[in-house]
Structures are given as C-alpha cells and as structure tokens.
C-alpha cells in the first residue's frame, strides 16, 4: 500500500507516534514535538527502565524500616495502659499498602522485560525503544494489509 493512503492525525497509526509513544500527528514529520526526542538524550535500555522500579521498591523498603523503628521506639515510651490498637492498625494498613505497591512494581519489571525482551537480548541496548517502535509499525502495516485483503474479497 502507498503511504499516501494514510490520513494525518490517525492516533492508531504508530508512524504518527514517536518511539517514546508520544503522538506527533503526522507520518512524514512531527507536527507536535516530543520533549525526549527534542532533548537528544540517549533512550533508556531495558535495564534503565526496570531500574526505576527497583529504586521505587528500595525506597518502599527504607520507608517500611523507618516505620518499624518508629513504632518500636514509640512502644517503649508510651504509657503501658494506653490503648495502642489504633497504632497497630495504622501500621498494618501501611504495610499492606506497601506490600501491594512492591508487588505492583515487581509486575511492572516483569512486564517491561516480557515486552521489550522480544526486541533485544541485550538489556543494555539503548535502541530497544526504536526496535519496539519499528515492530509496531510492521504490525500495523500487516493489519492494514489484512483489512484491505478482506475488503477486496468482499467486493469481488
């Protein structure tokens, strides 16, 4: 098919998005600029992307330890006959929230590896966003061709 068949401002067309996923509004050149494209900085590798989530997990663990220490210290100075159940509940609520956040970050790490790992075996490869974007374009072209074939079969 010819590129001229494509309409501008088609948000389903990956050619109208940059490799960072930002809609740029045109397949031959950007109408809307992406900050990351403009900055000219090297794209993140798989390891760079998952490191963000590992850092978040570390931060949660540090925060959890601080709360464990705080509650422990508080227990020592509070009057013995004071009802501390509210403290215990707040502590449990925090830990449950923290556990589910850590679980979600771990899932994000796995999703990132599963998705981007399709395009490179090298987790330090800074071209992985480009490779993923090119694969999206190929998939889209295949979809458009399939649709055209279906249409031509219908009208034959």
Q: How far is the CB of 124 from Zn ion (least distance, A)?
A: 20
- For 8, 34, 46, 151, the CA distances from 31, given in Å and listed in that order, are 10, 10, 29, 31
Q: Is 69 exposed, middle or buried (0-12, 13-18, 19+ CB in 10 A)?
A: exposed
What's the alpha-carbon Rg for the chain, to the nearest Å? Answer: 25
- The nearer residue to Zn ion, 20 or 60, going by C-beta atoms, is 20
- The nearer residue to Zn ion, 91 or 130, going by C-beta atoms, is 130
Q: How far is the CB of 19 from Zn ion (least distance, A)?
A: 6
Residue nearest to Zn ion (CB): 34
Which residues of this chain interact with Zn ion, rule CB under 5 A? Answer: 18, 20, 22, 34, 36-37
Q: How far is the CB of 111 from Zn ion (least distance, A)?
A: 21
- The nearer residue to Zn ion, 15 or 20, going by C-beta atoms, is 20
CB distance 37 to 22 below 8 Å: yes
Q: How far is the CB of 30 from Zn ion (least distance, A)?
A: 9
- The nearer residue to Zn ion, 43 or 125, going by C-beta atoms, is 43
Question: At 24, is the secondary structure helix, strand, or coil?
Answer: coil
- What is the enclosing helix (H) or strand (E) of 115? helix 85-116
- The nearer residue to Zn ion, 21 or 97, going by C-beta atoms, is 21
Pairwise CA distance, residues 14 & 145, whole Å: 15
- For 16, 17, 141, the CA distances from 133, given in Å and listed in that order, are 11, 9, 12
Q: How far is the CB of 39 from Zn ion (least distance, A)?
A: 9
């Amino acid at each position: 098919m010819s590129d001229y068949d494509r309409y501008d401002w088609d948000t389903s067309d990956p050619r109208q998005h940059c490799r960072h996923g930002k809609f740029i509004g045109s397949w031959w050149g950007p109408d809307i600029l992406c900050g990351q494209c403009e900055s000219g900085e090297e794209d993140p590798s798989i390891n760079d992307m998952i490191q963000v989530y590992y850092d978040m997990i570390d931060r949660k663990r540090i925060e959890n330890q601080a709360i464990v220490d705080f509650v422990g210290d508080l227990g020592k100075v509070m009057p013995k006959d004071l009802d501390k159940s509210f403290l215990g509940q707040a502590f449990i609520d925090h830990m449950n929230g923290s556990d589910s956040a850590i679980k979600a970050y771990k899932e994000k790490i796995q999703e990132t590896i599963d998705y981007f790992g399709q395009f490179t075996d090298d987790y330090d490869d800074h071209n992985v966003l480009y490779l993923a974007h090119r694969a999206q374009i190929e998939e889209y072209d295949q979809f458009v061709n399939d649709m055209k074939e279906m249409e031509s079969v219908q009208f034959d």
